[in-house]
Structure 1
Amino acid sequence: MKTAVVIGAGPAGLMAAEELALAGLKVVVAEAKPSPARKFLMAGKSGLNLTKDEAFEDFVAAYDSPALRPMLEAFGPEDVKRWAEALEQDVFTGSSGRVFPKAMKASPLLRAWLRRLDALGVELKTRWRWIGEAEFETPEGRVSLTPDVTVLAMGGASWARLGSDGAWAQDMPDLVAPFQPANMGFAVNWSAHMAPLFGAPVKQVELRAGGIKHRGEFVVSKRGLEGGGIYVLSKAMREGAALWLDLMPDVSLAEVEARLAKAGKQSLPNVLKRLKLDPVKRALFFEFGKDRDVSVARTLKNLPLIHAGPRPIDEAISTAGGLRFDVLDAGLMLKSKPNVFAAGEMLDWEAPTGGYLITACLATGRWAGQHAAKRA
């Protein structure tokens, strides 16, 4: 019987293992941590956004890598939903198009998936730390395997405590684009008056950076700016684009000016209250806009949010960088390492939150597993 080793037991690795087992290979999954899919389970604490229910071209456009298209065509949002339902996890689509399991957590889905893998004969080895090729440090000592094919699925470089530390990249530096944080917060050196507002959400605003506009919300935290509205723009901001905030996106500049004129000679704090700006919006105005050499109305519509750069990469939800697609063939096999494939966040692609990350991990894991099985 042909054999396969999958290194990493996140969603990409488990998907690859399933495809290999379905093809008749004897599969060992080696996981460095004491239990599988720790980052996947962490994502489940906020509901486990599996995918995004939207037109396929819009879905694909969210990714920065055209190389992912065939994998997403083969396993896209509808396939993800069917996959979850086949594991007896009913899903629902929220108003934004985001798809979640009705259980709103990852653990029931993972348990069902692991049972199915076990029934297929997949052998999961935990506390097996990869040290190169198909060698591992294990609780029983060093183990060396000789598989017919190998799938690498060791994750990116964020959330090291959950297993994605990017250490594997040191063993193949010529094949890797440098890691960068993605879907991350940005540090801000706040004034003292902002402290009472840490944790406050900023809602019903429009954020702009690098030609991208996004209606949404974000959070003022002790560390800076965080949340979905920031993550959507994080790539542009990481690349140097300034961040601007429209505090009144549903009101035109002319209407804001008219409302300010009606306020007369009232103090600015009272004027902002009359405009029905909540405390956190007023605080942001005074933090970033009170000394600008433009009108109050223009500042309300175009407030610069000054930050000190991205938060550390280990705090990021995901990472950009990883194995470059030019060092992989169309089946995700490393050109320099025959019979070794790669999948998931090890690959050099980037996408926003909202279901895109998990979908691409599943799709690339499935693709690598299928092509590895054909190669065996």
Structure 2
Amino acid sequence: MAVIGAGPAGLMAAEALQAGGAQVEVFDAMPSAGRKFLLAGRGGLNLTHSESIEPFLDRFGAGRASLEPLIRAFSPEHLRDWAAGLGVATFVGSSGRVFPVDMKAAPLLRAWLHRLREPAAAGGGPGVRFHMRHRWLGWADDGSLRFDAPGGERRERFAATVLALGGASWARLGSDGAWVPLLRGRGVTLAPLRPANCGFDVAPTAPGRAGWSEHLRTRFAGQPIKPVVLSWVDEAGHCHSQQGEFVLTETGIEGSLVYAFSARLRDAIEARGTAAITLDLLPAHSAEQVLAEVRRPRGSRSLSTHLKSRLGVQGLKMALLHELLTPEQLADTATLARSLKALPLSLAAPRPIDEAISTAGGVRFDAVDANLMLRDVPGVFCAGEMLDWEAPTGGYLLTASFATGRAAGQGALAWLRDCRPVS
């Protein structure tokens, strides 16, 4: 049995296949397994989320119906138990996110790879064999798998194959989307790959600019803005708001608060060319309080000094006011007060897909059966981010990757039992 891709989905598929007694061969183009998984854990590995299952499933939006049975079969609670089985205790953070006690990805990955390679110590079947620096090239005419290997092209035939090749973000870590033309060439229905959990470029903030002013870029790029409430109004007129923080970049904005809206903002830009958001720079103050403070006489003090002393507005928040408002708007107390509570900002484009945390699009769920086998390529199963779903950050991405990997591995075993194909 072959698994192509040594990220969380591929390793979980390998574990499921191994548990069924199969000899598993894992192939990956990278020098070592779990490269993107390790990067995701650099600031603390967010394995999953502790919220109840219904709101958890709602995070997957249009993909909920397809993912729900898979996630219910390997839920956040199952994932925490699984980690404990590897000797990795977890805890729930203040935001509800679940992390390993030591916050690190490397110890979990090491324990997992050891158990896959040497399952006999845990009473398992044959050890998984890993073949690194093996880039999948597709299929040969006889149905064998083709790999660009260190010693040249290699061809192997397997009874079944699980593809867990990721999306198209962070190509340097292995997820480069090179599988898209290979599957399209076999007639597999694919949704276009698009950036998810991504930053955005701003529209020109004044005539003659490409985006931010040179002053704002050079003085404030890389700095966080917090606390702030981001709001966006959808086509039906419903306002969506969330408090958090984000970072100003040389071309726009990025960060956790932006990622929470990224799918909707991306879709709005695709539909209408731009997306309009507003920023509440003073979420702890009511509109009435802000207006009262702005209207207080400031005497000989500058506007910046006045706002800093009365409302604590300074640094990047003050710079954004100067960036996005005209001198006349800054001088009008009513307009300034409204802008402090709802500063308009227009977004022009999502950042390139390779910069995104994750990817939307991929193999459509109507192209696979209930076991995640490709309808047009029997014996080939898909898992993880190469399937057409997306979710926000917060542990949802990893949970679904684990769940689909497990389902694909179990699906391959079930197909082999039913079909008894000749390898």
| Normalised TM-score (structure 1) | 0.96
Letter in 1 for 2:342: N
Whether contact under 8 Å (1:183, 1:317) holds in the other structure is yes
CA displacement, residues 280-335 of structure 1 (integer Å, 9 cap, x when unaligned) = 11111111134586711111111112333111110000010100001111111111
Listed as ranges, the matches of 1:239-278 within 5 Å are 239-240=267-268, 241-264=275-298, 266-273=301-308, 274-278=310-314
Q: Could you tell me which residue of structure 2 aligns to residue 324 of structure 1?
A: 364
**Paired letter, 2:189:** L
For residues 138 and 91 of structure 2, what CA distance do their matches in structure 1 show? 41
Which residue of 1 is the match for residue 151 of structure 2? 140
Going from structure 1 to structure 2, the CA distance change for 1:302 and 1:150 (only over 3 Å counts) comes to same
Displacement after TM superposition at 1:237 (Å): 1.3
Q: Distance in 1 between matches of 2:135 and 2:215?
A: 47
Structure 2: which amino acid aligns with 1:13? G
Contact 1:15–1:365, Cα closer than 8 Å, also in 2 = yes
| Number of corresponding residues | 373
Counterpart position of 2:381: 341
Deviates more, 1:78-87 or 1:255-264: 255-264
Aligned to 1:197: 220
What is the SS of the residue equivalent to 1:25? coil
257 and 144 in structure 1: CA distance in 2 versus 1, 3 angstrom threshold? same
Whether the 8 Å contact between 2:371 and 2:411 is mirrored in structure 1 is yes
- Determine the structure 1 residue equivalent to 2:49: 52
Structure 1 position 127 matched with structure 2 position 133: yes
Deviates more, 1:34-43 or 1:301-310: 301-310
Structure-1 separation of matches of 2:230 and 2:53: 25
Residue segments in structure 2 that go unaligned for 5+ positions in a row: 120-126, 140-144, 203-210, 269-274, 417-423
Q: Is the 8 A contact 2:167 2:358 kept in 1?
A: yes
2-structure distance, mates of 1:264, 1:107: 56
Q: 1:208·1:233 contact (CA, 8 Å) conserved in 2?
A: no
Q: Is residue 150 of structure 1 aligned with residue 137 of structure 2?
A: no
Deviation at 1:346, TM superposition (A): 0.4
| 1:289 aligned residue | 325
Distance in 1, matches of 2:327 and 2:368, equals: 52
CA distance in 2: counterparts of 1:51 and 1:87, whole angstroms: 16
Alpha-carbon contact 2:278-2:342 (below 8 Å) kept = yes
1:105 aligns with 2:139: no
**Structure with greater Cα Rg:** 2
Range with bigger deviation, 55-64 or 289-298: 289-298
What is the RMSD computed on CA atoms of the aligned residues?
A: 1.5
Counterparts of 1:12-161 in structure 2, within 5 Å, are 12-64=9-61, 65-66=63-64, 67-120=66-119, 121-133=127-139, 134-161=145-172
Work out the CA distance in 1 between the residues paired with 2:292 and 2:404.
54
So what's the TM-score if we normalise by structure 2? 0.85
Match among 171, 180, 184 for residue 198 of structure 2: 184
- Structure 1 stretches of 4+ with a deviation exceeding 3 A read 263-267, 290-294
